[in-house]
């Protein structure tokens, strides 16, 4: 098998491994949360966790976000955000409210269980980041430079239809 094919397989496998819901990650987050937050966690998926991360907590500052702002902040389509937010509101992780003098727009804030889940999710990412940093410590600075360059180029690689266009990479 050619090295290029193997790299393609490995990139796909790494992507799938980091995208899948993991029972150990779920347990880590459950252990960080109250029973109320644990019940909500059992009902939501990874995309909802990432939405929670972009919604301000009800901390008295008045910070909030609407569906359009949440869609922009996360890169998710508005329809997906709207459906997921409805589940988060129903579960009790998010509360809707209106801004004074603006009866048209509905804004969102995290509830206390939603904030607990967000803290647990951020804690999970921090723990995973520490593990990744320890793993990457096995490689020399030169190795890391090559890995960084390859991954960065892959992310920026332009496409025309189904074909990648490395000739257009600046």
Whole-number pLDDT of residue 46: 85
pLDDT at site 1: 60
For 12-26, what is the mean pLDDT? Answer: 82
Alpha-carbon distance of 24 to 30, in angstroms, equals: 10
CA angle, 77 then 40 then 120, to 5°: 85
pLDDT(8) > 80: yes
pLDDT confidence of residue 58: 67
Q: Residue 106: its pLDDT value, please?
A: 82
Residue 166 DSSP label = G
| Residue whose token pair is 């967000």 | 118
- Whole-model pTM? 0.77
Q: What is the pLDDT of residue 143?
A: 95
pLDDT, the chain, mean? 88
**Lookup: tokens for 16:** 């799938």
Each domain of the chain, given as residue ranges in start order, spans: 23-137, 139-170
pLDDT band at residue 117 using 50, 70 and 90 as cut-offs? very high
What percent of the chain is predicted at pLDDT more than 90?
A: 52
Per DSSP, the three-state class of 99 is strand
Q: What is the pLDDT of residues 153-169, one digit of tens each?
A: 888 888 888 888 888 88
Residue 155: the pLDDT is 85
CA 72 to mean position of chain CA atoms: 13
Predicted pLDDT at 170: 76
pLDDT of residue 78: 93
Hey, what CATH topology would domain 23-137 get? Arc Repressor Mutant, subunit A (1.10.10)
- The per-residue pLDDT for 45 is 87
Question: Each residue of 49-104: pLDDT tens digit?
Answer: 989 999 877 666 767 788 998 999 899 999 999 999 999 999 999 998 887 777 77
Which two structure tokens, joined as six digits, stand for 120?
A: 């647990």
């Amino acid at each position: 098998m050619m090295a290029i094919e193997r790299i393609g397989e490995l990139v796909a496998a790494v992507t799938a491994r980091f995208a899948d819901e993991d029972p150990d990650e779920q347990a880590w987050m459950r252990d960080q949360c109250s029973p109320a937050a644990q019940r909500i966690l059992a009902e939501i998926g990874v995309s909802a966790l990432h939405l929670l991360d972009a919604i301000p907590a009800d901390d008295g500052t008045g910070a909030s976000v609407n569906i359009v702002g949440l869609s922009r902040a996360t890169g998710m389509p508005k329809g997906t955000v709207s459906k997921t937010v409805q589940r988060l509101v129903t579960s009790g992780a998010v509360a809707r409210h209106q801004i004074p003098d603006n009866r048209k727009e509905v804004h969102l804030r995290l509830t206390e269980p939603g904030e607990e889940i967000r803290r647990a999710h951020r804690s999970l990412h921090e723990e995973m980041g520490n593990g990744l940093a320890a793993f990457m410590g096995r490689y020399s600075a030169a190795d890391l430079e090559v890995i960084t360059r390859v991954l960065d180029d892959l992310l920026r690689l332009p496409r025309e239809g189904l074909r990648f266009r490395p000739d257009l990479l600046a």
